[in-house]
Amino acid sequence: MKTAVSIPDDVFNDAERLAARFQTSRSELYARALAEFIARHDEESVTRALDEVADEVREQDADTTAAKSMAHRALRRVEW
């Protein structure tokens, strides 16, 4: 899909430098950035991440201390 958007000059210039550094097209860079932004703000992905944490905790030993430790480690891996 082709579209036109307006962005500030400084953002455009930063994106140009980043695309050159990654040796990718501007379109690919913008598509990847938008996909990442959408994923970070998708409420269902947060729910899925919390479900994964709960599954990991359930799989561990019933020891409360160990379960809490696993939950903390798993939550630290989730990008909020």
Confirm whether 4 is domain-assigned.
no
| pLDDT (0 to 100) of residue 63 | 61
| pLDDT (0 to 100) of residue 73 | 77
Domain count, the chain: 2
Among candidates 51, 70, 74, which has minimal Cα distance to 62? 70
Confirm whether 51 is domain-assigned.
yes
Q: What tens digit of pLDDT does each residue of 6-51 get? A: 999 999 999 999 999 999 999 999 999 999 898 888 777 778 877 8
| pLDDT (0 to 100) of residue 19 | 96
- Report field, pTM of the whole predicted structure over 0.85: no
Average pLDDT over residues 51-69: 71
Boundaries of domain holding 58 = 43-77
Confirm whether 36 is domain-assigned.
yes
| Dihedral in degrees, nearest 10, Cα atoms 5, 10, 12, 18 | -150
Please check the confidence at residue 56 and state whether its pLDDT lies above 90. Answer: no
